[in-house]
């Protein structure tokens, strides 16, 4: 199917373990791979398996364009890191290579939550009320705020910097902290949504046609109780999408927004909440989703968004299949991403992972942390050691498989203590399954 891609050269501008998945897939398709970044190979999983490695600062547009021309690069795959997207757009434009977006599109859909919310309001996509708080803390604005609120950096990702604030004192203190650390100096203060039902949806955009590829709920660890508690699961095919008539009531505005922004090719993610039967979206991403939903769809429908994105990078088209004919977000199996967050400390040993990877229900496992790494006390994805894709035919098999994974893994700190933030239980997983699938 991808014979026309063999022998072409793909430049991957991402160092991460997720980017290594794209490098591995490209090589499986017979594509030559180059990974370019300024990280040493030991800190770049994608470099470790690439055909060629280049130490370079990808923000140096002139140097990157020169690299593209000298190495006869046919296309660029940017990966999963939001901060790389503006550089990707500029390099592709200068080098005359296909790109999934413009600097402006990436700004709205990946790098500036305020601009995303403005676009939502323009196209009628529901979004939480935002308060226009500035570093001057105008009393007229402060007096309009109804607490609690969520305060977060407009240019953040991965859950970093997010905090619920229950009063003005908390809000101002956290705002100042984020402001001092933010490159853009843009901080979002929005209504705190009193709902546990956090949702993520992904569209595949192919020649301007949008198809809903995945929809999943986020479940957080029970070991932490605040709003920004660490993620434990993404469970796919949530029934509440149908229950609350998402496709009838909200999807037309979402698709109108995607088309109105001029998107032609790529993956688009919308993230938000369901509250009292209504959907509210507060951020998005114009890039592959970290959940890697294609791992499931390849098995269930034969559709791989990763293959399509690689094909687009090298040809400017997605001609191998029509995504809209294959996409169905209502997965026919019980599917989840199992995140394994850790307690603070230094990892000294990891065992059981080979046995986990051999389990028939485990489709993929991406490792982010290794012995010697230090885990800080944060609510972001920085404390996750594994992201494991699990799929089973029945709920019972699903719950049993996840319990086996949790029991088999052993991650110890320097004192010999287990670092997993939460060990899974059969009853807990079945409760999650009931909330997801009814």
The neighbouring-strand residues paired with 118 are none
373 and 406 in contact (C-beta within 8 Å)? no
Burial of 227 (0-12, 13-18, 19+ CB in 10 A): middle
CA distance readout (Å), 170 to 149, 160, 236, 283, 379? 10, 17, 35, 23, 18
Q: How far apart are CA 198 and CA 185, in angstroms?
A: 27
324 and 211 in contact (C-beta within 8 Å)? yes
Q: How far apart are CA 213 and CA 127, in angstroms?
A: 22
288 and 304 in contact (C-beta within 8 Å)? no
CB atoms within 10 A of CB 385: 22
CB atoms within 10 A of CB 30: 12
What's the pLDDT at 18?
A: 94
Within 8 A by CB and 6+ apart from 305, the residues are: 202, 204, 213, 267, 288, 293, 294, 297, 323
387 and 409 in contact (C-beta within 8 Å)? no
CB atoms within 10 A of CB 160: 17
- Of 127, 12, 29, 116, whose CA–CA distance to 64 is shortest? 12
What pTM was computed for the model?
0.91
**Tokens for 352?**
């059981």
The neighbouring-strand residues paired with 114 are none
Please state the three-class secondary structure of the chain as a single string: CCHHHCCCEEEECCCCHHHHHHHHHHHHCCCEEEEEECCCHHHCHHHHHCCEEEECCCCCHHHHHHHHHHCCCCEEECCCCHHHHHHHHHHHHHHCCCCCCCHHHHHHHHHCHHHHHHHHHHHCCCCCCEECCCCCCCHHHHCCCCCCEEEEECCCCCCCCCEEECCHHHHHHHHHHHHHHCCCCCEEEEECCCCCCEEEEEEEEECCEEEEEEEEEEEECCCCCCCCCCEEEEEECCCHHHHCCHHHHCHHHHHHHHHHCCCCEEEEEEEEEEECCEEEEEEEEECCCCCCCHHHHHHHCCCCHHHHHHHHHHHCCCCCCCHHHHCCCCCCCEEEEEEEEECCEEEEEEECHHHHHCCCCEEEEEECCCCCCEECCCCCHHHEEEEEEEEECCHHHHHHHHHHHHHHCEEEECCCCECECCCCCHHHHHHHHHHHHC
- Of 327, 310, 328, 308, whose CA–CA distance to 318 is shortest? 308
pLDDT in tens, the chain (438 residues): 899 999 999 999 999 999 999 999 999 999 999 999 999 999 999 999 999 999 999 999 999 999 999 999 999 999 888 999 999 999 999 999 999 999 999 999 998 888 999 999 999 999 999 999 999 999 999 999 999 999 999 876 656 788 899 999 999 999 999 999 888 888 999 999 988 899 999 999 999 999 999 999 999 887 776 655 788 999 998 788 899 999 999 999 999 999 999 999 999 999 999 999 999 999 999 999 899 999 999 999 999 999 999 999 999 999 999 999 999 999 999 999 999 999 999 999 999 999 999 999 999 999 999 999 999 887 667 899 999 999 999 999 999 999 999 999 999 999 999 999 999 999 999 999 999 998
294 and 309 in contact (C-beta within 8 Å)? no
């Amino acid at each position: 199917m991808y014979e026309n891609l063999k022998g072409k050269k793909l430049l991957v501008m991402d160092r991460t373990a997720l980017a290594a998945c794209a490098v591995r897939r490209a090589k499986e398709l017979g594509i030559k791979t180059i990974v370019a970044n300024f990280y040493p190979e030991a800190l770049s999983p994608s470099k470790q398996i690439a055909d060629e490695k280049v130490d370079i600062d990808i923000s140096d547009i002139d140097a990157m364009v020169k690299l593209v021309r000298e190495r006869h690069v046919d296309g660029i795959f940017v990966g999963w890191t939001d901060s790389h997207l503006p550089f990707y757009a500029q390099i592709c434009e200068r080098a005359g290579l296909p790109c999934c977006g413009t600097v402006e599109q990436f700004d709205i859909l990946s790098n500036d939550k305020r601009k995303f919310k403005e676009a939502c309001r323009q196209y009628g996509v529901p979004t939480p009320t935002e308060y226009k708080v500035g570093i001057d803390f105008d009393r007229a604005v402060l007096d309009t705020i109804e607490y609690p609120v969520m305060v977060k950096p407009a240019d953040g990702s991965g859950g970093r910097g997010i905090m619920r604030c229950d009063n003005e004192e908390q809000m101002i203190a956290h705002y100042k902290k984020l402001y001092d650390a933010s490159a853009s100096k843009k901080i979002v203060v929005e209504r705190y949504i009193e709902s546990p039902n956090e949702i993520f949806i992904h569209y595949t955009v192919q020649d301007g046609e949008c198809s809903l590829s995945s929809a999943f709920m986020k479940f957080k660890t029970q070991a932490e109780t605040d709003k920004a508690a660490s993620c434990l699961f993404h469970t796919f095919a949530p029934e509440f999408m149908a229950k609350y008539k998402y496709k009838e009531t909200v999807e037309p505005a979402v698709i109108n927004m995607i088309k109105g922004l001029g998107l032609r090719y790529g993956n688009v993610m919308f993230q938000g909440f369901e509250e009292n039967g209504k959907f509210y979206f507060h951020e998005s991403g114009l890039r592959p989703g970290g959940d890697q939903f294609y791992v499931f769809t390849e098995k269930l429908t034969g559709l791989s968004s990763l293959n399509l994105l690689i094909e687009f990078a090298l040809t400017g088209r997605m001609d191998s299949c029509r995504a809209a004919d294959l996409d169905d977000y209502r997965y026919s199996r019980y599917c989840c991403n199992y995140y394994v967050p850790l307690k603070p400390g230094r990892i000294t040993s990891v065992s059981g992972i080979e046995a986990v990877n051999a389990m028939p229900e485990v489709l993929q496992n991406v490792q982010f942390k290794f012995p010697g790494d230090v885990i800080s006390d944060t609510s972001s994805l920085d404390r996750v050691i594994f992201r494991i894709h699990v799929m089973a035919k029945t709920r019972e098999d699903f719950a049993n498989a996840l319990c086996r994974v949790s029991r088999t893994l052993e991650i110890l700190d320097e004192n010999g203590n287990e670092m997993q933030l939460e060990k899974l239980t059969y009853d807990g997983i079945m409760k999650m399954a009931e909330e997801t699938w009814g």
